[in-house]
Structure 1
């Protein structure tokens, strides 16, 4: 019974104080709601950024990957010699090696003739470097001259390519070079590119006449079954030149995410926005709790004179902070779910509302309110019973 009273009575007093002034309660709840929505959206955009950054790497079919050390990310590659990739074949554990060519180029909308930049991937059609159903179906046809495959998950500004292919309109230009679209595949857009195209390595050279087959952007290595990728990575690191990075599959994904998180300004922006949301919410909740304590200073002094200890009032303040966190989080979560759906429809990138994200944001909001309560508690010390007389 004592343990129940230790929690129940301070919480009941805190709740009555909050609902006594509905205007202040609405203001405090709105502040928490605003912070909650802002944190949800910043984390959502950040996770969407990381997911889109890995949209291409996750579809790659390989065990080890070579990239120039000056390459900041796959979409900003620095070429290196194809011979460096061929040297990897000297290791008996290496089964196959394939080069991958990447470049950004303007794509002409078939209907509007407006150009928009997308990412072009050039590869050996027999290599199946990407685990994509559309690529498997069109593997043989992709060997034909001036043919490409289009990512149907690209932004709609490129045109309704699926519909146009059905009516026989399949000719367009990439980098001012005329090509024919054979079919579609599904990869997804990213913050670096609004669309994607896959073509053969020879067609890639025709689209980009300044490039040559000996300068590659990414090397893909497939190992023999049962071989340790880490062991081969260590062996190749000693064999290959020092200007080449050798990544495992997981390391390549992490390298792409690290670029957006640490190198690209947008990663900092999302992190800074999350912090600012918490700071704004903390200030609002602190002001409400501080004002509430100041307005009831005489009442607190009376309770102290009656024998209530300082710890009782501390529990009252923290209970108020907890109630505000709950009252602000629930509508903030519901509002954020709707905003996530709206954002997905506009940016064409996934923004899942995962359970771990919900729990993370709730802990952020709860910590924010608790910190505000901790700062406001110092006002309780001035509630002296002697001031009543």
Structure 2
């Protein structure tokens, strides 16, 4: 028993932190606030990138053709439709789907206000989505003037989904033309488009008569089983003229995400916001640990005079920083989950907690607290027992 008590370490770091509960709570509140700020900024940034390619991921395609003049999904340029037909000459190509892509003015049937909505036009008989439940709904588009409305669109477009589920006939106008909602789909909004609709090629060209029928914005190419998309892309790039860009499906997704990452300031702003949260947390933790070390300088000096090594006392400060990081992360994580749910409900953006972001913020908080601990150690390193006493 005596050996047990002699070998038992006194939890000095924990006792120092809990000696003043009010100071501890203030420190944890500051760390949690910094963590919440990092969670929200990184969540908005990643949600932006994920939302921008929601429709892209659903396309039934292995290779995608777009115009080299296209910048993003909100500014797609047209290219000759015959380029898509020419891809059928490749032995690995199994089928193609031409897609019309553009923004239209949707009239809210309740408020009569107009708002831009992203419209995709295609042949309902062609494979379009990899999700079978979405593919089954496209038969309703064979009748002219029918559309499928994205029920995840923002409420500014009107209570379309509620009316349709209630059995009402939902009709409105697009660019002055009458259309009827023939079904609902779930695609999701993005920073570029607050809502989406699907329609047939015939209806799309009626709604946008200025679009030449021989031009399309996106060409979907499906390959035979076992074909290598990279090799097909390489061959098509050599055979097709330079008025069309050939990409793999993942390349098409990267094309869209790179636009928001590099061509806009949104990604930089959210990353800067996360960095500011990191700096704020560092200042708070440093102030708490520096004050704690300063208040206990006589005790630290006494321990040094008794023969305790400086490295042992520095370890006390490091453990204090570790305890603060762990205790501050838990409420930040829980608050982040709640705020993500609130943002998803209010904006329809795919903002959610994932393991990668949770670990990223945890590491950032640990680094933040460890860095502050090392900075606060300078006060302890400079402590001279002779001067203190």
TM-score range, shorter chain: over 0.9
TM-score when normalising by structure 1: 0.92
Corresponding residue number in structure 2 for 1:305:
305
Distance 1:374 1:388, change over 3 A: closer
Supply the distance in 2 between the matched residues of 1:23 and 1:232 (Cα, whole angstroms).
65
Runs of 4+ in 1 over 4 A off after TM superposition: 4-9, 132-135
In structure 2, the CA distance between the partners of 1:15 and 1:77, relative to structure 1 (3 Å rule), is: same
Contact 1:94–1:224, Cα closer than 8 Å, also in 2: yes
Deviation at residue 217 of structure 1 after TM alignment: 1.0
1:226 maps to 226
SS in 1 for 2:102: strand
Contact 2:169/2:180 (CA < 8 Å) preserved in 1? no
2:37 matched residue in structure 1: 38
Specify the alignment match of 1:262 in structure 2.
262
**Could you tell me whether the CA contact under 8 Å between 1:65 and 1:219 is conserved in 2?**
yes
Counterpart residue number, 1:352? 352
Matched-pair contact (CA < 8 Å) for 1:301–1:385: yes
Which has the higher mean CA deviation after the structures are superposed, 138-147 or 150-159?
Answer: 138-147
Give the direction of change, closer, same or farther, for the CA distance of 1:6–1:95 in structure 2 (3 Å limit). Answer: farther
Q: How many residues align?
A: 385
State the SS of the aligned residue for 2:54: coil
- CA 1:337 to 1:140, structure 2 compared with 1: closer, same or farther past 3 Å? closer
Aligned residues of 1:153 and 1:348 also touching (Cα < 8 A): yes
- TM-score normalised over the length of structure 2: 0.92
Q: Deviations over 1:43-95 (max 9, x none)?
A: 22222222211210111001100122332222321222222222222222222
Mark the CA change 1:105 to 1:300 in structure 2 (over 3 Å): closer, same or farther: same
**Given the superposition, is the C-alpha separation of residues 121 and 8 from structure 1 closer, same or farther in structure 2, using an over 3 Å criterion?**
farther
Match of 1:327 in 2: 327
Instruction: Indicate the larger mover: 350-359 or 283-292.
Output: 350-359
Aligned match of 2:48: 49
Stretch of structure 1 that moved more, 254-263 or 226-235: 254-263
Match in the other structure for 2:239: 239
Question: 1:40·1:361 contact (CA, 8 Å) conserved in 2?
Answer: yes
Shift of 1:160: 2.1
**Is 1:182 aligned with 2:198?**
no
State the match for 1:26 in structure 2.
25
Give, in whole Å, the separation in 1 of the partners of 2:358 and 2:369.
Answer: 17
Match of 1:100 in 2: 99
* Residues in 1 aligned to 2:209 and 2:215: alpha-carbon distance in whole angstroms: 13
CA contact (8 A) 2:128 2:135 kept: no
Tell me, in whole angstroms, the C-alpha distance in 2 between the residues paired with 1:324 and 1:124.
Answer: 59
DSSP 3-state at the match of 1:131: coil
* Structure 2 match to 1:110: 109
1:76 paired with 2:75, answer: yes
* Of 163-172 and 345-354, the range deviating more from structure 2: 163-172
* Cα offset, 1:291, TM superposition: 1.9
**Superimposed CA distance per residue, residues 146-174 of structure 1 (whole angstroms, 9 cap, x where no aligned partner):** 22111112122222223433444322111
Correspondence for 2:64:
65
* In structure 2, C-alpha distance between the alignment counterparts of 1:280 and 1:261, rounded to whole Å: 25
Give structure 2 stretches of 5+ with no counterpart: none
User: Contact conserved, 1:134 with 1:185, CA < 8 A, in 2?
Assistant: no
Partner of 1:139: 138
CA contact 1:134–1:184 (8 Å) conserved in 2: no
Give the SS at the match of 2:30.
helix
Distance 1:292 1:138, change over 3 A: closer
Secondary structure in 1 matching 2:148: strand
Rounded Cα–Cα distance in structure 2 between residues aligned with 1:379 and 1:361: 28
Evaluate the alpha carbon distance shift between residue 21 and residue 135 of structure 1 in structure 2; reply closer, same or farther with a 3 A threshold.
Answer: closer
Please list every run of 5 or more consecutive structure 1 residues that lacks an aligned counterpart in the other structure. Answer: none
CA distance in 1, matches of 2:6, 2:100: 70
Contact 2:116/2:193 (8 A) holds in 1: yes
- Secondary structure, aligned partner of 1:139: helix
- Describe the superposition over 1:199-237 as per-residue Cα deviations: whole angstroms up to 9, x where unpaired: 111211111121112221111111222221111111111
> Over aligned residues, Cα RMSD in angstroms?
2.2
- Determine helix, strand or coil for the equivalent of 1:36: helix
The alignment partner of 2:99 has SS state of: strand
CA deviation after TM superposition for structure 1 residue 311, in Å: 0.3
Q: 1:317 maps to which residue?
A: 317
- Summarize deviations over 1:344-375 as a string: whole Å, max 9, x none: 11111233322333222211111110011111
Which stretch shifts more, 136-145 or 24-33? 136-145
> Is the 8 Å Cα contact of residues 52 and 190 (structure 2) preserved in structure 1?
yes
Q: Which moved more, 1:30-39 or 1:358-367?
A: 358-367
1:111 counterpart SS class: coil
